[in-house]
Amino acid sequence: MRLVHSFAAGQWIAPGPGARAIESAITGEVIAQAGNDALDVQAMRAFARDRGTVALQAMTFHDRARMLKALALYLWEHRQVLYDLSFDTGATQSDHLIDIDGGIGTMLVFASKGRREMPDSRIYIDGPPEQLSRTGQFQGQHICTPLQGVALHINAFNFPVWGMLEKLAPTLLAGMPAIIKPATATSYVTEACVRLMLDSGLLPDGALQLIAGGTGDLLDHLDCQDVVTFTGSAQTAKQLRATPNVLNSAVRFTAEQDSLNASVLGPDAVQGTPEFDLFVTEALREMTAKAGQKCTAIRRILTPSTQVDALITALRAGLSKVIVGNPRETGTDMGPLVSSSQKMDVLQKAAQIGTEAERVFGDPETFSMADDQAAFLPPMLFHCANPDAAHAVHDVEAFGPVSTVMPYNDMDHAAALLNRGKGSLVASVITRDGDVARALAMASAPFHGRLYFNNRDSMAEATGHGAPLPHMVHGGPGRAGGGEELGGVRAALHYMQRTAVQGSPDILSAITGKWTPGATEHVDKPHPFTRPFDDLTIGDTLHTPSRTVTLDDIETFANFTGDTFYAHMDHAAAAANPFFPGRVAHGYLLLSFAAGLFVQPDPGPVLANTGLDNLRFMKPVEPGDSIKVRLTVKAKTPRNDDYGEVRWHVALTNQNDEAVAEYELLTMNEY
Ligand code: NDP
């Protein structure tokens, strides 16, 4: 018997009063127990805040991203332990790839995004500064800072590893500690994964704790600095959301709950096209992966009425080849559901669907593995001929290998049926017709967190209807819970507070660590290109002498580059253009002259110019005008052990001090 421990305030705590038995999905035997009503959940919260928050928030985003990468690589090295345990949850080896490899991969994506898309600091800057006054001496900037409490992750049974890591990675990246509360049924796998992470020694104290079993009165003690992210049934979500303290203290509460996801066979994707076959492949995979226990699985299959028979025939042929069996055996395509009670729940929901749809594949009564104890079920396909009059097919989520085919007449009808899910995590559309895609996107995007389009052009590389990707938002409106997870850096922002900061450019620069136009310039130092990365400070500025731009310069540049656009070569044609007074200098000539003015030519700490962002040409330069440059260190980001990136703010002005061009220049500089 496996004893699933909690990890509370630095101690592993064995099951105790109120512990629940956990059965093997394969045999129905009790294999573990978890839960301890005596767990001191308030001490856990205090430990997270006093130790975890403090340690994590002393780190920068890059420090935390590096920690996530190391953690993910450690888990990858030790993943066999998790595979071995997971079979008893009913998962096959290919299900492990979704849950375990997918979870580790998700963590790696957040590690990479944290390094590439977040600053090496403790404040995230959200968008550009807003000029709030005439001269720019009073500006605004949105910033995000990590909340100072703890994130309580209450997770569903179906993905004991991915379900934890997809929330934990952005939480830690943001700088918040987490208390994980996995669903009891599969908590032994989550516990093993938490043990690995703690054993790795990579996490600061208090960053990660585990509750195996109930959460006690923890929700009664959370406040506005804590976050609850819930995944599971709509009923539990409703109950937890309504906890008086959660409402009174405005505790952030995100929910991922039931979802009647649909997939649409496009009107062009008729039998005989690659799209038809692709649709069948995707539908079969979604019905059987994780035995259909996926929040994103396809529950409703929408097809043009002309294709109903062909589609049902193809799906039945595919389902008849699915080998249901012991997930440990190679060759098994689909394992059992997580428990016999989940099996009973699915059978009951399938019976409800069966009141308004005909079952066209999969009879649980005659299913040969229908052992009362084990949790095996066959995949079950229904056909609902009149989906407009039906309710259960749109409302009842049988969280298992159950799906219903239903016909639609035209795109408006397809969209109306899609939206009968009352808010879903994902809908897919298999079509090559851009008009169909656009019509459904317009009509159904507001009802969905994700729309997945696939056809012969993308199918070799497409990631699958049911796969939430760390880069893209996962969550959905309405019935799906109204929550949002993943989505790249957005996911970390759910654990942070966005604050509008207003003040002078110097104050904003001091807060953000980034130079804001109008802030103090440090001009009395040697040329910034002669000073290594570490010697540069934000606001270091070079003002160049001016250079007059002649007609000869313009013609030489035009003939040399081949850019003889009329605005540079033909006075009358240029003057007829609303933007130009007559012949003007090329924008790229101005950039080249700017470089000529600010560059220090000798070998030195500047290794390379790696790019240029946010370029704007504001005023044309005519022959005889002169330009000068202000070059200012705006931000610095270490990249590796040898060099870091310097972001320079570059402003070109003319002889009247009018802005001519502005951009940000990126260089790599030696330390
Ligand atoms: P539940 O809603 O029963 O449980 C979800 C989580 O909430 C579990 O960790 C559970 O813990 C916990 N929980 C339940 N009651 C409380 C409580 N009073 N206080 C604190 N935590 C609590 O969902 P299941 O995991 O059993 O899944 C059931 C249904 O949820 C599925 O049939 C499906 O409809 C839906 N689901 C939706 C998913 C999605 O992402 N949209 C994913 C998975 C499931 P414990 O296990 O200890 O009771």
Q: For 46-100, how does the pLDDT look when each residue is reduced to its tens digit (9 = 90+)?
A: 999 999 999 999 999 999 999 999 999 999 999 999 999 999 999 999 999 999 9
Q: Which amino acid is at 374?
A: A
Band of pLDDT at residue 367, cut at 50, 70 and 90:
confident
* Ligand 1 nearest atom to the CA of residue 155, by list position: 9
Please indicate whether residue 256 is annotated as part of the active site. Answer: yes
Answer for the pair 165, 194: CB distance below 8 angstroms, yes or no: no
Q: Which amino acid makes up residue 251? A: V
Q: Half-sphere exposure of 437 toward its Cβ, with a 13 Å CA cutoff?
A: 12
**Contact in structure between 605 and 534 (CB atoms under 8 Å):** no
Helix axes 61-77, 102-117, angle to 10 degrees: 160
Closest C-alpha among 140, 131, 143, 142 to residue 502: 140
Chain position carrying tokens 């403790």: 122
> Is pLDDT at 244 greater than 80 in this prediction?
yes
Distance in angstroms (rounded) separating the CA atoms of residues 147 and 494:
9
Q: How far apart are the first and last CA of the chain?
A: 56
Q: Is 331 left (phi over 0), alpha (psi -120 to 50) or beta?
A: left
Q: Supply the pLDDT for residue 369.
A: 64
SS3 label, residue 291 = helix
Express each pLDDT in 195-224 by its tens digit. 999 999 999 999 999 999 999 999 999 999
Q: Is 384 a catalytic residue?
A: no
SS3 call for 188: helix
Per-residue model confidence (pLDDT) at position 372: 62
Tokens encoding 585: 């200098």
Checking if the pLDDT of 371 tops 80, the result is no
364 or 453: whose pLDDT is higher?
453
651 CA distance to ligand 1 middle (Å)? 56
What is the C-alpha separation between 384 and 355, in angstroms, rounded?
A: 10
Q: What is the DSSP letter of 545?
A: P
Top mutation candidate among 211, 233, 243, 254 for ligand 1, by most atoms within 8 Å of CB: 233
Q: How far apart are CA 155 and CA 226, in angstroms?
A: 16
Site to probe by mutation for ligand 1, drawn from 215, 236, 260 as the one with most ligand atoms within 8 Å of Cβ, is 236
Angle 556-561-566 from CA coordinates, rounded to 5°: 75
Q: What is the pLDDT of residue 604?
A: 93
Confidence of residue 1 (pLDDT cuts 50, 70, 90): confident
**C-beta of residue 405 within 8 angstroms of C-beta of residue 382:** yes
The pLDDT of residue 154 is 98
Residue 242: band (very low, low, confident or very high) from pLDDT cuts 50, 70, 90: very high
What per-residue confidence (pLDDT) applies to 640?
86
Percent above pLDDT 70 for the chain: 99
Q: How does 309-325 read in b/e, with b if 16+ C-beta sit within 10 Å?
A: ebbbebbeebbeebebb
Look at residue 374 and tell me whether its pLDDT is greater than 90: no
- Given 282, 295, 356, 397, the catalytic residue: 295
Average pLDDT rounded to a whole number, residues 108-125: 95
Residues whose CB falls within 8 Å of the CB of residue 430, separated by 6 or more in sequence, listed in order: 263, 264, 265, 266, 269, 275, 276, 278, 279, 282, 453, 454, 455
Per-residue model confidence as pLDDT tens digits over 572-614: 999 999 999 999 999 999 999 999 999 999 999 999 999 999 9
Q: Given a cut of 80, is residue 370 above it in pLDDT?
A: no
In this prediction, residues 638-642 reach a mean pLDDT of 88
Please choose from 211, 229, 231 the residue to mutate so as to test ligand 1's pocket, defined by most ligand atoms within 8 A of CB: 231
pTM: 0.92
How many residues in total does the chain contain?
Answer: 671
DSSP bridge pairs for 450:
426
Catalytic residue, candidates 256, 275, 397, 485: 256
Nearest CA to ligand 1 atom 20: 215
616's enclosing H/E stretch is strand 606-617
Write out residues with Cβ below 6 Å of ligand 1.
Answer: 154-158, 181-185, 215, 231-233, 236, 240, 256-259, 295, 397, 399
Tokens of 478: 């309405």
Average pLDDT across the chain, whole number:
96
pLDDT at 598: 97
